[in-house]
Amino acid sequence: MTGQQGPGKIRILDNCDNCGACCQSTPVPPFEPGEEAAYDIPPEALEVIRERIRRDEHFDRLACVWFDSESLRCRHYEIRPAACRKFEINSDLCRLARWDVGLD
């Protein structure tokens, strides 16, 4: 189809404000084994993750349980996983996530 953009044609961002695309394609915070203990994650924040896993929902269609769809921000940004901390703005994965959720 003509006129459609692919991930390579998505604009460059200065910051992550008003985005959250990466969070919309990661259904639970991507903690490495033992990382929760290192960050001292509160039990109530972990429980929403465990509940989603128990329900075995269609993970490919869900935003992260910590993602606030109104503010487009992480509810627990201070204790987000290392994978989230390392996720680079404007990287190929960032641009692909934005393309997948329809952000330009």
Domain boundaries, the chain: 9-100
Residue 7 has pLDDT above 60, yes or no: no
- pLDDT of residue 1 exceeding 90: no
| pLDDT per position as a tens digit, 20-69 | 999 998 899 999 998 988 888 999 999 999 998 898 777 777 899 999 99
Mark out the alpha helices in the chain (DSSP H runs): 21-24, 35-39, 43-55, 82-86, 92-100
What is the per-residue pLDDT for 2?
39
Residue type at position 60:
D
The pLDDT of residue 3 is 43
Of the CA atoms within 13 Å of residue 95, those in its CB half-sphere come to: 12
Q: Which residue has the higher pLDDT, 70 or 25?
A: 70
- Eight-state DSSP code of residue 12: P
pTM beyond 0.85: no
Measured CA to CA, the distance from residue 21 to residue 99 in angstroms comes to 8
